[in-house]
Amino acid sequence: MKHRVLLSAAGLCIAVHSCTELPLPDGNGTVEIILRSPSAGTDTKSEDPSTDGITDANVFVFNREEELESSTYLSPGQFRYKDGEAALLIRTFRTYPLTIAVCANFGGRITGITTLDDLKNKKMYLAYPDEYRGGIPMSGLLENATPDTLGRLTVRLVRLMGRAGVRIDRSALDAGISVNASSLTAVNSPRSASAFSPSSILNIPEAFTTGFMKSGAGIMPLNTDERPGLSHEVWIYALENLHGDSPSVRSGCTYLELKLDYFSSGKVSAPGKYLIFRRFIGNGEDNCDLRRGYSYHYVLKLSPDGLTAEGWEADTSQL
């Protein structure tokens, strides 16, 4: 989805147009800024964040010396959509090239910015791990740019969150064994992330006590098959958290924790007790880089007894 935003430094003017009706810049210092949301890639359920939606945005225009030329905050009530596009106007001094920086879905106006460095040092904070009703926080930076012949500049937005999708493969389970998902949590979910630079948390207190979690109706897709033996996919979200190739819970790496109700002739999980599987989020078993804008896919392929799965750490202590 593409959102067109025109900004006006001298009083904010809002107009709604279809794609063919959007007026071109008047050649007198007006620049059309297109905010291009990242593609969602897959559909999400209603309880998931809006992966592409923009409900508020801070838009900063810097001159060639990286000093602030203008800034505009677009609140939720100022966005008007028709055919998926919102149009507003801004005029700039004709001192190209320009640098355009955008912080979308941060939930309020960003103040105290006079230079580009000021903005690059800003962080986005979440009040709770699934604070996403206004859409996933996103940022975009277009540096040293000159408008095209139509007076347009395109800023590509990147989500500050990464997401991990989990499926359960029960195809190898022995007869008489039942394994049903109870909850899926992103443990060590960061409370904050830098808007424009790589982010990581250095210790556990910088993470939420309980991270982004799916349970109840939100976890049910893991207990229904998309095709024989393989469940549907459930998504979990967290802000960027980069720790490289030395995974460690104590260092603050984000990891998945999947709790399951288990039943067999020899073992059973009592009420409130679970078979638990854990794994770090990253590229491979020995990597713990949860990157902004990335989607990770994992399959919990259960062994015949349902007590182990390759690539996952199993905790059977509660059975």
Report, at the CATH architecture level, how domain 161-315 is classified. Sandwich (2.60)
| Percent of the chain predicted with pLDDT > 90 | 53
**Distance from C-alpha of 155 to C-alpha of 84, rounded to nearest angstrom:** 17
Strand residues in 2-82 grouped as ranges (E): 2-6, 14-15, 32-36, 57-62, 68-74
Between 167 and 249, where is the model more confident? 167
Torsions phi, psi for 61 (to 5 deg):
-115, 120
Indicate the average pLDDT of the chain. 82
**pLDDT tens by residue, 51-88:** 777 888 899 999 889 999 889 898 866 765 544 544 45
Torsions phi, psi for 216 (to 5 deg):
55, -130
When pLDDT is cut at 50, 70 and 90, the band that residue 233 belongs to is very high
Q: Of 277, 254, 248, 276, nearest to 163 (Cα)?
A: 254
- Given a contact cutoff of 8 angstroms between Cβ atoms, the answer to whether 25 and 151 are in contact is yes
pLDDT value at 12 more than 80: no
pLDDT value at 11 more than 60: no
* Domain pair 2-159 / 161-315, same fold: yes
Domain boundaries along the sequence of the chain: 2-159, 161-315
When pLDDT is cut at 50, 70 and 90, the band that residue 27 belongs to is very low
User: Residue 68: exposed, middle, or buried by beta-carbon count in 10 A (0-12, 13-18, 19+)?
Assistant: middle
**pLDDT tens by residue, 179-224:** 999 999 999 999 999 999 999 987 778 889 888 899 999 999 999 9
Please tell us whether the domain made up of 2-159 is placed in CATH 2.60.40.2580: yes
3-class DSSP assignment, residue 224: coil
- pLDDT for res 42: 38
- Given a contact cutoff of 8 angstroms between Cβ atoms, the answer to whether 116 and 195 are in contact is no
**pLDDT tens by residue, 110-142:** 999 999 999 998 999 998 887 766 688 999 999
pLDDT value at 16 more than 90: no
**Distance from C-alpha of 31 to C-alpha of 144, rounded to nearest angstrom:** 14
- Given a contact cutoff of 8 angstroms between Cβ atoms, the answer to whether 89 and 13 are in contact is yes
- pLDDT for res 94: 59
**Tokens 């007026």 identify what position?**
23
Write out the DSSP string of 174-193: PTT-EEEEEEEEEET-BSEE
**Beta carbons within 8 Å of 26's beta carbon, 6+ residues apart:** none
- pLDDT for res 93: 60
**Residue 181: beta bridge partners?**
260
**Distance from C-alpha of 54 to C-alpha of 311, rounded to nearest angstrom:** 36
- pLDDT for res 1: 42
**Distance from C-alpha of 247 to C-alpha of 262, rounded to nearest angstrom:** 28
User: Residue 103: exposed, middle, or buried by beta-carbon count in 10 A (0-12, 13-18, 19+)?
Assistant: buried
